[in-house]
């Protein structure tokens, strides 16, 4: 009985050591991807960025036209203040107020629409890229893929970076896929 009590802990310790050694020999396959770089360098990402920049340029041009129109009315009011009737000045001020309100509403609506378009385009590309990343991870037997743009990875070996492969496969999937209609501005 004493012999069993003395050898039982040694047997258990031996089993734990063997199990721990075999567990330690398993290698976890990890890869990283930079989602921001993948978005910016993919063909669809470049198209989305161009579309967003075009929308932003149009909004800025429209606001500039509205500002010019308001400035013109303000100048007319300032120069004609001494010669205009009180009713004309009141009507001109009402016109300036209306145009200022229209400009503010347009800017708010256009900004909200641009943000919505941006979110939709980014989400669409993200979902499509995640499926590419999942397929690549399955193919390469990867157990973990970290996004360096969002995960807080400080440093990683470039040998585990699959960003370029993801972009290549994503772009290839877009070439073979049927063309999608452009998103309305």
Query: For the segment 139-170, what is each residue's pLDDT rounded down to a tens digit?
Result: 988 888 888 888 777 777 788 888 899 999 99
Total residues found in the chain within this entry: 185
* Domain-embedded: residue 84: yes
**Residue that wins the pLDDT comparison between 29 and 95:** 95
Domain span at residue 140? 27-176
* Domain-embedded: residue 19: no
Q: CA dihedral defined by 71, 73, 76, 78, rounded to 10 degrees? A: -70
Q: Total structural domains in the chain?
A: 1
pTM confidence score: 0.69
Q: Average pLDDT of the chain?
A: 84
Residue 180 has pLDDT above 60, yes or no: no
Residue 122 has pLDDT above 80, yes or no: yes
- Span 162-184, average pLDDT: 76
* Domain-embedded: residue 91: yes
* Domain-embedded: residue 13: no
What local confidence, expressed as pLDDT, does residue 65 receive? Answer: 97
Residue 74 has pLDDT above 90, yes or no: yes
3-state secondary structure the chain: CHHHHHHHHHHHHHHHHHHHHHHHHCCCCEEEECHHHHHHHCHHHHHHHHHHHHHHHHHHHHHHHHHHHHHHHHHHHHHHCCCCCHHHHHHHHHHHHHHHHHHHHHHHHHHHHHHHHHHHHHHHHHHHHHHHHHHHHHHHCCCEEEECCCCCCCCCCHHHECHHHHHHHHHHHHHHCCCCCCCCC
* Domain-embedded: residue 53: yes
* Domain-embedded: residue 112: yes
* Domain-embedded: residue 152: yes
Strands 30-33 and 144-147, by their bridges, are: parallel
Residue 185 has pLDDT above 50, yes or no: no
* Domain-embedded: residue 10: no
Residue written as tokens 């300032």? 78
């Amino acid at each position: 009985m004493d012999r069993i009590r003395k050898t039982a802990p040694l047997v258990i310790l031996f089993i734990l050591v063997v199990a721990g050694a075999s567990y330690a020999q398993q290698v976890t396959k990890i890869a990283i991807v930079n989602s921001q770089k993948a978005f910016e360098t993919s063909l669809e990402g470049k198209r989305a960025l161009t579309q967003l920049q075009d929308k932003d340029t149009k909004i800025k041009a429209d606001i500039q036209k509205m500002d010019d129109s308001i400035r013109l009315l303000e100048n007319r009011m300032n120069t004609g203040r001494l010669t205009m009737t009180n009713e004309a000045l009141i009507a001109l001020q009402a016109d300036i107020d209306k145009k200022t309100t229209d400009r503010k509403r347009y800017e708010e609506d256009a900004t909200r629409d641009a943000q919505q378009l941006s979110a939709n385009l980014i989400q669409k590309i993200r979902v499509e890229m995640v499926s590419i990343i999942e397929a690549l991870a399955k193919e390469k037997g990867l157990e973990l893929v970290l996004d360096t743009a969002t995960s807080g990875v400080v440093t990683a070996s470039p040998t585990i970076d699959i960003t370029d492969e993801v972009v290549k496969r994503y772009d290839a999937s877009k070439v073979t896929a049927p063309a999608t209609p452009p998103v309305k501005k």
